[in-house]
């Protein structure tokens, strides 16, 4: 049994886009389970490819996509 000092978390997974041209990471979508590779590929195709404005100084900049686990305390979700 969990005592009062025990914290219970709800696990989510955020697919995030990071790049040196972005000041902060951009969350593309949040999932309840770890997304499969084809789902991440579809997100990239829909939200990233062709959406950024080309610039001569950004050709060396390659955006990266990360799947980040996010733990949220259950008390915050239902309060």
C-alpha–C-alpha distance, residues 66 and 53, integer Å: 21
* pLDDT exceeds cutoff 60 at 59: no
Tell me the average pLDDT across 51-63: 58
What does the DSSP assignment read for the chain?
Answer: ---TT---EEEEEEEEEE-TTSSS-EEEEEESSPPPHHHHHHHHHHHTTTTSPP-GGGTT---EEEEEEEEEEHHHHT-
* pLDDT exceeds cutoff 90 at 44: no
* pLDDT exceeds cutoff 70 at 1: no
């Amino acid at each position: 049994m969990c005592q009062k000092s025990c914290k219970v978390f709800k696990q989510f997974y955020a697919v995030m886009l990071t790049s040196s041209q972005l000041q902060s990471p951009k969350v593309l979508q949040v999932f309840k389970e770890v997304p499969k590779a084809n789902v991440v590929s579809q997100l990239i195709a829909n939200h990233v490819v062709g959406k950024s404005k080309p610039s001569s100084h950004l050709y060396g900049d390659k955006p990266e996509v990360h799947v980040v686990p996010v733990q949220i305390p259950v008390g915050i979700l239902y309060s």
